[in-house]
Structure 1
Amino acid sequence: MPRSITTLLAVFLALLAPLLGGVGPAHAAEVSVPNGEQFVDSSGTPLHAHGGGVIKVGQYYYWFGENRNADNTFRYVSAYRSTDLKTWEFRNHVLTQASDPELQFANIERPKVIYNASTGQFVMWMHKENGSDYGEARAAVAVSTTVDGDYTWRGSFRPLGHMSRDITTFVDTDGTGYMISAANENRDLHVYRLSPDYTTVAAQVQKLWAGGSREAPAMFKRKGVYFLLTSGATGWSPNQQMYGTATSITGSWSGLSTVGDSTAYRSQTAYVLPVQGTSGTDYLYMGDRWGNSMGGTVNDSTYVWLPLEFPTNTTMTTDYSPRITIDTAAGTVSGMDVPWETLSARHSGKCADVSSFDTAESAPVVQWWCGTGVNQNFWLKDLGSGYVQVMARHSGKCLDVADQSTADGAAVVQNSCNGQPSQQWKVQKVAGTTYAQLVARHSSKCLDVADQSTADGAALLQWACNGGANQQWKRTGG
């Protein structure tokens, strides 16, 4: 074969090779997503999709949610898209105050978008209020022919005359659409079957856990079992999440079972997203840590995403991790599999605690009565040098001596883990006891409860090691 033809053939095969490797969009890589933080989009702008929901179209996940004014009233429903659930591209403010006169003075909460294959329309359901109180308690609908286009307002109403507040949607495997909302002053949860085009309510098919005061519903189906995850109705304050199950939406539902800790790790359900890939399907809890519960506004809220686990076909658990790993190509969602421990002071029996569940840099570390939350859990990561790094579970930040000070009385705080000597601690066993001292590498001083105090809120600091009981710590768990 002439050399020119050989060269052309080689070039042709080189160009063809990527196509032979597979057809379709490139697979996303495994990514790490932090918890308890405000996300930003690909331009670095804060991402506001609070109370939101996700729909997958082609290779993209589209995330819709609340984007509010400074006074907490409705501004936009904003839409973002991602292939890996970490890098989000802003697409459009799909619903705005200018979309309809009814939205000039309104509040829009918990927008959820579903696709109707028969009509080719994307249908958004949401909770609508008047912008000043929660007296309207109405459901609302908007539609679009493209997932991230401008949605046309179809109006608001009380479904079959019932109050409707926190809301979600669900499309079953047979294509039947459902809307679930909190009714009767949030005392009941109503399940409605939607019309064939998904834009109106056809019938009420369930009244679940009457008088149970549940809200923030999220429905999904796994291995033929329907799960409905909800929170209690305590306003912006977090509370115990609970769920029920059924083998038919219109059949008998179980009673409510708890999941997570007593505050859902200081979050509230927004959505449960099935992440399907080559290894199967994992389920992602998507929650909001509301800014309103911390003296701020909705747009100050942060996100809490956690993997859901299923010990049996009808039971569900979740555990907190400061960051999770997602692989959308494989369909896997996982938390950090590390030994979390508590550190209790010998003199007081109280636990090292990052004050007020604070996730900020330089947040103080104190002692507090044990058992109040994951802000008392730490990972003593062996650095292989005779020292450990002490990571706080709720924030993913490390115990640090403020300003790398070597002075007695320097405060112990949390800061982003960076490996510096003031974040490295030697664990030295106290002979004949189950306790140990934690000695800072940079100063050779001990982790100490200030003034040997036994009070809640007493500061942790470093002090010259002296063998005092307020410098002795028991490790529990791990």
Structure 2
Amino acid sequence: MSRIVALVAALALILAGSPAAAAAAAVPVGAQFTDTGGSLLHAHGGGVLKVGTYYYWFGENRNSNGTFRYVSVYRSTDLRIWEFRSNVLTQSSAAELQVANIERPKVIYNASTGQYVMWMHKENGSDYGEARAAVAVSSTVDGNYTYLGSFRPLGHMSRDITVFVDTDGTGYMISAADENFDLHIYRLTPDYRSVSALVRMWDGDHREAPALFKRNGVYFLLTSAATGWQPNQAKYATATSITGPWSAWQNVGDSLTFGSQSTYVLPIQGTQTTSYLYMGDRWAGAWGGPVNDSRYVWLPIQFPSSTTMSLTNARQLSVDTATGTLSATGSGYDRLTLRHSGKCLDVRNQSTANSAAVVQYACNGGTNQQWRIQSISGGYVQVIARHSGKCLDVNSAGTADYATILQFTCGTGANQQWTLQDAGGGYLRLAARHSGRCLDLPGSSTADNVQLQQYACHSGNQQQITRTAL
């Protein structure tokens, strides 16, 4: 008996001394983040650098008018719980930063010099005429960065920007050039502080928001079209040499990249695998909000082959930085069902055109009956049809009863912004911001193909919907 007790005690000591497996972190898609102090996290247009066990996330933290305030940095071990570390670059860091725009800061580490080097896009704060790259350095990852100045690389305009360190230690900077019509890859000098050569150019392709990564010897360059704050179709190209030849541009994700624009791709290397995380910004300018109201869209990248990638929308991610595994749950879309009829909100005939009627129709699982409800500034939402990428809209921004409901290209209009009102019993009402009136079905009809309208909000079942996650 004493021998059994001793064995049990020894086993208990072994188990007590074993490190617990890190739990996977749940990361929402299309949300704002808060740091450990409870403040909103501002790392828009940013990039991530892993140092030791920590991931450091650098990004834009802007003034209310959109001009430069800080480059802020946060750190995390699990990519969900973020600790604010410092504002590593501020308006007082240099005279030319007192009134400026600083966008898309990215930091890389130079093993030869022992310095962290930040590259960013710099403008004068009033227009986009400067189109310059800027550089700052620090001896510590989250300490104050010394601003070295701004310039046009080899005389070329430089806007949306990223940096990349290859497996042989060579540094590269990629930027949108020449009014965003061209895209350039520059080789950096050995200290990463400047450019030494233009090694690849896409002439006239009109691409921006570059994110470069390498997987199993293949380079992937992910980009966006140049449509301002509005999202668009992401495209990527691949090559086995950074200087080319590169493949033709290929679509990835849906026509709006799920309401986001690429900023960075983060490899997550763990004990079991290496996964690749798409990091995108859902820019608040798309709905007329300030930059600091922007949301973060993170999605797992899949690789159907060694030279292809795919993105699928999701509602939430599960990230395990210890094992390197990354998975998604939910499609990110909802079915909206009217209480009085049991029929679904539907874009008539699956039309993708502007002004196509939004009707009720027997639920059938079609993508024209699937909606992405994305939160925007002020507690409002936009309701976006999956098949078309267009927004639920009150016709001509009418404020009167009986104004019809349709789909239209998403923009900044308040007639595309809605509040989700609790109607009790698990039901909701959708109230239009511009009019205060509710989504309504005329005459409480239960027939297919009846177009929805707005009407003064009341307690009737024809204004009540159920939201079912798909």
TM-score range, shorter chain: 0.7 to 0.9
- Rounded to whole Å, the distance in 1 between the matches of 2:322 and 2:373 is 38
Q: Which amino acid aligns with 1:117?
A: A
**1:38 pairs with 2:32:** yes
**Over residues 203-224 of structure 1, what are the superposed CA-to-partner deviations in whole Å (9 max), with x where a residue is unaligned?**
000002x211100000000111
Corresponding residue to 1:97 among 91, 94, 107: 91
Q: Which amino acid aligns with 2:182?
A: D
- Rounded to whole Å, the distance in 2 between the matches of 1:360 and 1:74 is 20
Corresponding residue to 1:73 among 63, 67, 82: 67
Corresponding residue to 2:249 among 256, 259, 264: 256
**1:141 pairs with 2:135:** yes
- Rounded to whole Å, the distance in 1 between the matches of 2:145 and 2:245 is 36
Q: Which amino acid aligns with 1:320?
A: N
Q: Per the alignment, do residues 17 and 375 of structure 1 end up closer, same or farther by CA in structure 2, a change over 3 Å counting?
A: farther
Corresponding residue to 1:372 among 361, 380, 388: 388
Q: Which amino acid aligns with 2:301?
A: L
* 8 A contact 2:315–2:332 mirrored in 1: no
**Over residues 244-303 of structure 1, what are the superposed CA-to-partner deviations in whole Å (9 max), with x where a residue is unaligned?**
000000120001001111111111111000011011111101111111111111111111
Q: Which residue of 1 aligns with 2:52?
A: 58
Corresponding residue to 1:402 among 422, 429, 436: 422
- What's the CA shift for 1:360? 8.5
- Rounded to whole Å, the distance in 1 between the matches of 2:161 and 2:381 is 38
Q: Which amino acid aligns with 1:290?
A: W
Q: Which residue of 1 aligns with 2:318?
A: 325
Corresponding residue to 2:270 among 277, 287, 290: 277
- Rounded to whole Å, the distance in 2 between the matches of 1:400 and 1:195 is 53
- What's the CA shift for 1:102? 1.3
- Rounded to whole Å, the distance in 1 between the matches of 2:121 and 2:424 is 50
1:206-355 matched pairs, under 5 angstroms: 206-208=200-202, 210-336=203-329, 343=344, 348-349=360-361
**Over residues 49-75 of structure 1, what are the superposed CA-to-partner deviations in whole Å (9 max), with x where a residue is unaligned?**
000000000000000000011111101
- Rounded to whole Å, the distance in 2 between the matches of 1:353 and 1:340 is 6
Q: Per the alignment, do residues 402 and 270 of structure 1 end up closer, same or farther by CA in structure 2, a change over 3 Å counting?
A: same
Q: Which residue of 2 aligns with 1:421?
A: none
Q: Per the alignment, do residues 373 and 28 of structure 1 end up closer, same or farther by CA in structure 2, a change over 3 Å counting?
A: farther
* 8 A contact 1:449–1:471 mirrored in 2: no
**Over residues 414-461 of structure 1, what are the superposed CA-to-partner deviations in whole Å (9 max), with x where a residue is unaligned?**
9xxxxxxxxxxxxxxxxxxxxxxxxxxxxxxxx984434733666899
Q: Which residue of 1 aligns with 2:103?
A: 109
Q: Per the alignment, do residues 171 and 369 of structure 1 end up closer, same or farther by CA in structure 2, a change over 3 Å counting?
A: closer
Q: Which amino acid aligns with 1:42?
A: T
Q: Per the alignment, do residues 269 and 41 of structure 1 end up closer, same or farther by CA in structure 2, a change over 3 Å counting?
A: same
Q: Which residue of 2 aligns with 1:163?
A: 157
Q: Per the alignment, do residues 57 and 375 of structure 1 end up closer, same or farther by CA in structure 2, a change over 3 Å counting?
A: farther
Q: Which amino acid aligns with 1:197?
A: D
Q: Which amino acid aligns with 1:72?
A: G
Q: Which residue of 1 aligns with 2:120?
A: 126
* 8 A contact 2:333–2:386 mirrored in 1: no
Q: Per the alignment, do residues 263 and 298 of structure 1 end up closer, same or farther by CA in structure 2, a change over 3 Å counting?
A: same
Q: Per the alignment, do residues 207 and 405 of structure 1 end up closer, same or farther by CA in structure 2, a change over 3 Å counting?
A: same
* 8 A contact 2:385–2:391 mirrored in 1: no
- What's the CA shift for 1:471? 11
Q: Which amino acid aligns with 2:422?
A: A
* 8 A contact 2:259–2:282 mirrored in 1: yes
- Rounded to whole Å, the distance in 2 between the matches of 1:471 and 1:97 is 50
* 8 A contact 1:354–1:364 mirrored in 2: no
Q: Secondary structure, in 3 states, of the residue corresponding to 2:70? A: strand
Corresponding residue to 2:451 among 441, 452, 455: 455
Tell me which structure has the larger Cα radius of gyration.
1
- What's the CA shift for 1:358? 4.4
Q: Which residue of 2 aligns with 1:84?
A: 78
Q: Any stretches of 5+ residues in structure 1 without a counterpart?
A: 1-6, 377-398, 415-446
Q: Secondary structure, in 3 states, of the residue corresponding to 1:316? A: strand
- What's the CA shift for 1:333? 1.4
Q: Which amino acid aligns with 1:317?
A: S
**1:197 pairs with 2:163:** no
Q: Which amino acid aligns with 2:310?
A: T
* 8 A contact 2:72–2:89 mirrored in 1: yes
- Rounded to whole Å, the distance in 1 between the matches of 2:381 and 2:155 is 51
- Rounded to whole Å, the distance in 2 between the matches of 1:17 and 1:355 is 46
- Rounded to whole Å, the distance in 2 between the matches of 1:329 and 1:374 is 39
**1:178 pairs with 2:172:** yes
Q: Secondary structure, in 3 states, of the residue corresponding to 1:128? A: strand
Q: Which amino acid aligns with 2:40?
A: P
Q: Any stretches of 5+ residues in structure 2 without a counterpart?
A: 1-5, 336-343, 349-358, 363-367, 393-418, 432-438
Q: Which residue of 2 aligns with 1:438?
A: none
- Rounded to whole Å, the distance in 2 between the matches of 1:235 and 1:67 is 19
Q: Per the alignment, do residues 18 and 169 of structure 1 end up closer, same or farther by CA in structure 2, a change over 3 Å counting?
A: farther
**Over residues 365-414 of structure 1, what are the superposed CA-to-partner deviations in whole Å (9 max), with x where a residue is unaligned?**
98x977234999xxxxxxxxxxxxxxxxxxxxxx99833169xxx85459
1:14-33 matched pairs, under 5 angstroms: 21=18, 28-33=22-27
- What's the CA shift for 1:107? 0.7
TM-score (norm 2): 0.76
Q: Per the alignment, do residues 206 and 92 of structure 1 end up closer, same or farther by CA in structure 2, a change over 3 Å counting?
A: same
* 8 A contact 1:402–1:412 mirrored in 2: yes
- Rounded to whole Å, the distance in 1 between the matches of 2:171 and 2:244 is 16
How many residues align structurally?
Answer: 399
Please tell me the root mean square deviation across aligned C-alpha atoms, in Å: 3.6
Q: Secondary structure, in 3 states, of the residue corresponding to 1:160? A: helix
* 8 A contact 1:284–1:307 mirrored in 2: yes
Q: Which residue of 1 aligns with 2:341?
A: none
- What's the CA shift for 1:322? 1.4
**Over residues 449-476 of structure 1, what are the superposed CA-to-partner deviations in whole Å (9 max), with x where a residue is unaligned?**
44347336668998669xxxx9999x9x
* 8 A contact 1:214–1:233 mirrored in 2: yes
**Over residues 133-176 of structure 1, what are the superposed CA-to-partner deviations in whole Å (9 max), with x where a residue is unaligned?**
00000000000000000000111000000000000000000000
Q: Secondary structure, in 3 states, of the residue corresponding to 1:212? A: coil
